[in-house]
Amino acid sequence: MPVEEEAKLRVSHGEFLEALRRAGVSFRLGKPVEQVDTFYDYPDRRLTSRGVALRIRRSGGGVVITFKGPTSFEGGVKSRVELEGPPGSAEAARALEAAGLNPTSDPERAIVSGGLTPLVVVRKVRVPVRLEGLRSRAYLDRVDGLGEFVEVEGPADEVRDLLRRLGLDERAVPQTYAEMLAKLRRR
C-alpha cells in the first residue's frame, strides 16, 4: 500500500525559503493552487476514533478521493497509508472501501448514502516548491484560519535530513490541518 511520508512545519514561507537559500538548496516555486478539502466521518466518529480520515479534495477543477490511515510520528515525520484517486478510479474505490463504503463512480453519493457527514472543511492556497537534487518536494500552504505552514513530502530519511540542514526539525507538528481547525472550533 502507498505510504505518505511528510513533515508539516509551523513556519512562515519567508523563513522556510531563506533557510533553503542559507543551506544552498536550489528551488523553484510553482503556481499557487486553491484547494478545498472536506473531511467526512460517521455520526459515531468511527473514522476519527481509529485515527483515519476520508477526504474529498477539490482543486483546479479536479476532484480526488483520499483515505488516510493511522499516523506514526517519528523525528518530525508523519507516515501513514494513503489511498487516493479521482472519482471512478480503482484507487478511489479502494479509498472508499477502506472507509467502510461501497465503491461507486459517484463517491459523494456513496458517502451520503453511507451516512457520513462533513466533519471539517480546510481551505488553503498551496504553492508547490521543487527542491533541486532531492526526491522530496515542498508546499507553501496558507490555510484559512491557521496561517502559513510548509509541508515537505518525500522519503522519511531525506525529509529528516533536510529539516536538520535547514535548522527547522524542531518546527514539525504532528497535527493535521483538519485536527487544528477542529480544535479551534471546540474552544
* φ, ψ at 180 (rounded to 5°): -65, -45
Question: Residue 30's domain spans which residues?
Answer: 3-186
Number of domains in the chain: 1
Residue 28 has pLDDT above 90, yes or no: yes
Report pLDDT for 62.
Answer: 93
What is the reported pTM? 0.93
CA-nearest of 51, 69, 68, 63 to 108 is 63
Report pLDDT for 156.
Answer: 96
For the segment 81-104, what is each residue's pLDDT rounded down to a tens digit? Answer: 999 999 999 999 999 999 999 888
CATH assignment of the domain containing 85: 2.40.320.10
Report pLDDT for 115.
Answer: 94
